[in-house]
Chains A and B, each alone.
Chain A
Amino acid sequence: MMTPVVLWSDVLIWLLVLAASVLGWLSRRNPLLRAAWQRVGRSRAGMASATVLLVFVCIGLLDSLHYRPRLEDSAGRGTGTSSEKTAVYSVEVLSLLDFLLTPLRTRTEKTYSEPLATRAHAKESIEIRDADGQLRQSRDYPRLKHGGAHLGSDEARRDADVAERVLRALGLAMLVWWMLAAATAALLARRQNCSHRQAWRRIWHNESDLACNAVLAAIAALLLCGLPLAILASDYHVFGTDKVGQDVLYQVLKSVRTALVIGLVTTLVMLPVAIFLGIVAGYFRGWIDDLIQYLYTTLSSIPGVLLIAAAVLMMQVLIDTHPQWFATAAERADLRLLALCCILGVTSWTGLCRLLRGETLKLRELEYIQAAQAFGVSDLRIIARHILPNLMHIVIIALVMDFSSLVLAEAVLSYVGIGVDPTMISFGTMINNARLELAREPMVWWSLAAAFVFMFTLVLAANLLADAMRDAFDPRLAGSA
């Protein structure tokens, strides 16, 4: 039916998942890391935002398993026998998320339509066959092909239908949530050997080790927003459609992956370089330090946006003059995305490198490192056993702190025209496309609003989690709290 396609960014994303699991495994073993995570677990804001982020990450991961669907029967055209008939695959690369959202993806309208509309946004000349069988031209808002199609001609019933669906969804959401909450309480009751009532009380009075109440509250919010959306989306364009009639909800969901790739892969790309150079400079000092300092001072003295602009321009030339490198448009867009990550990485590693160098300089004067030197332990081992583990908290903090700024940067860069490929759906391209329509009367606001809400939620959750993690991992802050 299909052939899997492995894009480079998919590889990196799943590699990140792997790295996260390894970190999780290490954290279970090491009591200090475990304690830090437990502090994160107790932070209500942190856990609520982690829950929200988890949903985003799941969307992103579903969107990171790609395949090319097999085209429907191409045998008719072929002259060969059925035995040598080779499967023909579409040039369009789809992801698992696309598959799940097939209705959203395929039900495109002609052009703009408002959220939950049954008719298009702009008037058009339409031909109507009158009762007498004559064609008559009139200017009106044309009926949408898909939006509210199930209503048939009874468009007036739309409001009632929407309200009924929303109520149904809210009821369902509450039911699901009650079940989840009850299950949590039951689990807690069994773990801590107390009655259900007590467990319930512990959850809501924040007396458990994990901020369960925050997680449950976040789940409630997600269910209350998500389920009505899902139920409405089956027959309406909840967030309307864009210029070419594509569903905005679909675009917003697709943007999530782009944001995650930019926010996470960039850090992954720059992390090894920053860690290695930072530690080496701080530990060995002398001319090595001078060289590395020169390197990062030079790089950081080029203003970031300009360096990115220059590099992206050049990359564009490179990609455009070598079309033969890419089998599909998706691959080209993907490689451009990765290149953008690398370029962002090059401009952002210097800060972390400087930080790690300074910290290493301090660490290497500590007595336990001198004790190791007194045993004649090799430099490499001292770095691996003594310095790197004691820098981990800085790296983790830097990783989560950078995420949100990178997601924001993507939007700006894509707007300026030096971001992701214009064919790739991202918050930046959405805003860029929508911006041009702001001047229209009446205004086309829904793309922008949808992008705003989703981006704000994602970045806010990331910022809150970053704060919780910084408080938990920074030894100075953790000690005082």
Chain B
Amino acid sequence: MLAYLIRRLLYAVPILIGVNLITFALFFVVNTPDDMARMQLGVKRVTPEAIERWKAERGYDKPLFINPAATGSAVFTDTIFFAKSARMFAADFGRAEDGRDIAREIVSRMGPSLAIALPTFILGLLVTVSFALLLTFFRASYLDFWGVVLCVAMMSISGLFYIIGGQYLVSKLWRLVPISGYGGGLEAWKFLILPVLIGVISGIGSSTRWYRTIFLEEISKDYVRTARAKGLAEAAVLFRHVLQNAMIPILTGVVVVIPLLFMGSLLTESFFGIPGLGSYTIDAINAQDFAVVRAMVFIGSVLYIVGLILTDLSYTLVDPRIRFQ
């Protein structure tokens, strides 16, 4: 089992390198730094000097891969690829357009992101799994039918409307909580409760339906019939037998997103004005801050790969077949 995990870890290395190469190609090969400079400076101010200055300020004035002018190892290190891409492995993301250090910014913004994403995730999982269990328990009844109809209807509504509608109802009409903003300390819950609630509700439709499908698939298996033949009550069958087996496919989809919770949610954070990584990304996109977007892409991939490894690890907890091999 250890060998299995180490192999999974080692497999992450070429994938990270691949991600790094893809982002590099996307940011520096599709468009040259000159193009980016022209775009950023706007039509009026474009002069060759302005472009050169723009590039020099950001370190984009070097060759892409090999610097023939340099000596020694600097042939490879004094290049855009090394400075902008390879150094991301050392958590060095450079500076944003406003001159701040991206790495520091990211660390400080993780907190607010997590403060929303983590409760949303946990609460959402509890609600949807319970709802799906309820539907499974009453399968092929009217409750199940209308539950599924509700789920399909809910998943047909864009996430934007959940946020807009929630803000309008709760904050504007009923004036229960502030419409947006973020505060530290104990007061934070006022700002958090609405985005978390909306996050949970907007996820109910698709997740419940997915879990219900998994439960129904499990419930048609032979061992469930055995459990019933033992004289167990339907609830015991569902909780003791079906739920445990269904954990395996559920974990595949769930564990992988846990590390990504650090990244926050683009929509929620920008609507509610929460200074997390999601709104950071959106601001960077709108300001066309390439350095920040590049850093976020890389961090996102790292977190996803961590999620994959965690998934493998979690299998060993719920699936004895993997634990003992």
Residues of A near any B CB (own CB < 8 A): 294, 297-303, 305-307, 309-311, 313-318, 320-321, 404, 408, 411-412, 415-418, 427, 431, 435, 438, 448, 452, 455-456, 459-460, 462-464, 467, 480
Contacts and interface: CB of A to CB of B under 8 A. Distances in A.
A452 B152 CA distance: 16
Contact of B15 (A298, A455, A464): A298
Interface of chain A: mostly helix, strand, loop or mixed: helix
Contacts of B157: 452, 456, 459
Contacts, number: 125
Given A321-B38, A321-B39, A314 B156 contact: no
A431 B164 CA distance: 10
Contacts of A297: 15
B234 interface: no
Contact of A299 (B22, B39, B153, B305): B22
Given A317-B35, A415-B267, A463 B156 contact: yes
Given A302-B297, A412-B159, 19 more contacts: A297-B15, A298-B15, A298-B19, A302-B22, A306-B281, A306-B297, A307-B297, A310-B26, A313-B285, A313-B288, A320-B39, A411-B160, A417-B286, A448-B161, A456-B157, A459-B157, A459-B158, A460-B152, A463-B152
A306 B152 contact: no
A415 B267 CA distance: 9
Contact of A435 (B27, B164, B281, B285): B164
With a 10 A CB-CB cut-off, give which of A448, A456, A463 has the most chain B CB atoms: A463
A331 to B, nearest CB: 20
22 contacts: A294-B14, A298-B19, A300-B304, A301-B304, A302-B297, A303-B300, A306-B293, A309-B285, A310-B297, A313-B290, A316-B39, A321-B35, A404-B155, A411-B160, A416-B266, A416-B270, A417-B285, A435-B164, A448-B164, A452-B157, A459-B158, A463-B152
Interface of chain B: mostly helix, strand, loop or mixed: helix
Contacts of A303: 260, 263, 297, 300-301, 304
B300 A302 contact: yes
Interface string B229-270: 000000000000000000000000000000010010011001
A438 B168 CA distance: 8
B36 interface: yes
B193 to A, nearest CB: 20
Interface residues of B, number: 47
Contact of A460 (B31, B153, B286): B153
Contacts of A298: 15, 18-19, 22
A464 B297 contact: no
A411 B158 contact: yes
B35 A459 contact: no
Interface string B14-28: 110011001100110
A431 to B, nearest CB: 5
A459 B30 contact: no
A311 B293 CA distance: 10
The 9 closest A-B pairs by CB, nearest first: A298-B18, A460-B156, A303-B300, A459-B156, A301-B304, A321-B35, A317-B31, A306-B297, A411-B158
Contacts of B158: 408, 411-412, 427, 431, 452, 455, 459
A416 B159 contact: no
B306 to A, nearest CB: 10
Contacts of B30: 314-315, 317-318
Contact of B159 (A316, A408, A417, A456): A408
B133 interface: no
Contacts of B285: 309, 313, 416-418
B156 A310 contact: no
B294 interface: yes
Nearest to A323: B43
A299 B15 CA distance: 9
B304 A314 contact: no
Contacts of A455: 158
A351 to B, nearest CB: 12
Contacts of A320: 39
Contacts of B167: 438
A358 to B, nearest CB: 13
B129 interface: no
A467 B30 CA distance: 40
Interface string B207-223: 00000000000001000
Given A303-B304, A306-B293, A314-B27, A404 B156 contact: yes
B296 interface: yes
A72 B122 CA distance: 64
Interface in B280-311: 281-282, 285-286, 288, 290, 293-294, 296-297, 300-301, 304-305, 308
Nearest to A460: B156
B304 A302 contact: yes
B60 to A, nearest CB: 13
Contacts of B160: 411-412, 415, 431, 435
Given A302-B19, A455-B158, A467 B304 contact: no
